[in-house]
């Protein structure tokens, strides 16, 4: 709608007849500016889509690490096993109920509070003693899985904090305005046809910019990384209890 309004104003100020003589030059200019902007859009879409998929992969891996750690804890002494499994349950509940929304809102206080629950699990593992020879082997695996869990949690939070830089956003939006506005220079006599091609380009650019904005935050917006791996982990916990 904005592009059409701008076109109407431009056509009132600049008669179409004055654009006929420069139609070849305008065509070459549009081809150049359009090509440059198309490459920029394609690059940014590729980057944010890759980051979105990386975030989804981190969530899947974290869910799998939680299940592995929960099951391995069954091989430790009863008091340690109970404390570890209870701590993992609390952590998963906190991630689903609190941290997911906090990641989208960049609520670092909540993220830190949820992270303290996984620190509690580490304290329990660290204090574990009086192990049999068989339990020592299990304990080594528990340490390994816990390290995997904390690593993938860090990666998930890093992906939640990553954003397209402000300078890049300014370039994207200013480039979109420049590209769509350049359509006004076309010497098309029929207003309806001029408006159609301008609105079509503006709609395509706006859709891509919306897609970039949405994918840039994988834990908020219309397209979000699903909580399903954590919910599956909770179901595994219930079955293994």
SS (H, E, C) 113-138: HHHHHHHHHHHHHHCCCCCCHHHHHH
Pair of tokens at residue 79: 């008091």
- Yes or no: say if 159 and 218 are a contact pair by the CB < 8 Å rule: yes
pLDDT given for residue 241 in this prediction:
65
pLDDT given for residue 21 in this prediction:
76
Spans in the chain with pLDDT lower than 50: none
CA distance 210 to 101: 21
pLDDT given for residue 174 in this prediction:
93
Q: Considering only CA atoms, which of 96, 64, 61, 57 is closest in space to residue 233?
A: 64
pLDDT more than 70, % of the chain: 100
Q: How many residues does the chain have?
A: 241
pLDDT given for residue 153 in this prediction:
95
- Yes or no: say if 29 and 187 are a contact pair by the CB < 8 Å rule: no
Neighbours of 170 (CB within 10 A): 10
- Yes or no: say if 198 and 7 are a contact pair by the CB < 8 Å rule: yes
CA distance 57 to 152: 9
Name 75's Cβ contacts closer than 8 Å, sequence gap at least 6. Answer: 81, 134, 135, 138
Three-class SS of residue 14?
A: coil
Name 108's Cβ contacts closer than 8 Å, sequence gap at least 6. Answer: 102
CA distance 194 to 6: 12
The pTM for the full model equals 0.85
């Amino acid at each position: 709608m904005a592009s059409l309004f701008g076109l109407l104003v431009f056509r009132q100020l600049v008669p179409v007849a004055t654009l006929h003589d420069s139609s070849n030059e305008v065509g070459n200019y549009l081809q150049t500016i359009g090509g440059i902007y198309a490459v920029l859009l394609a690059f940014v879409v590729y980057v944010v889509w890759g980051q979105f998929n990386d975030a989804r992969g981190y969530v899947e891996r974290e869910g799998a690490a939680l299940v592995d750690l929960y099951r391995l804890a069954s091989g430790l002494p009863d008091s340690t096993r109970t404390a570890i499994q209870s701590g993992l349950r609390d952590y998963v509940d906190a991630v689903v109920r609190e941290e997911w929304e906090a990641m989208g809102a960049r609520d670092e206080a909540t993220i830190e509070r949820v992270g303290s629950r996984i620190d509690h699990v580490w304290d329990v593992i660290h204090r574990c003693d009086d192990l049999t020879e068989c339990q020592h082997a299990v304990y080594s695996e528990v340490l390994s899985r816990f390290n995997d869990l904390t690593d993938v949690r860090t990666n998930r939070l890093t992906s939640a904090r990553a954003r397209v830089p402000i300078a890049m956003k300014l370039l994207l939006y200013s480039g979109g305005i420049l590209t769509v506005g350049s359509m006004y220079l076309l010497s098309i006599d029929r207003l309806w046809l001029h408006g159609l091609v301008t609105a079509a380009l503006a709609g395509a650019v706006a859709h891509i910019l919306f897609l970039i904005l949405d994918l840039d935050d994988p834990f908020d917006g219309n397209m979000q990384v699903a909580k399903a791996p954590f919910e599956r982990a909770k179901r595994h916990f219930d079955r293994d209890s």
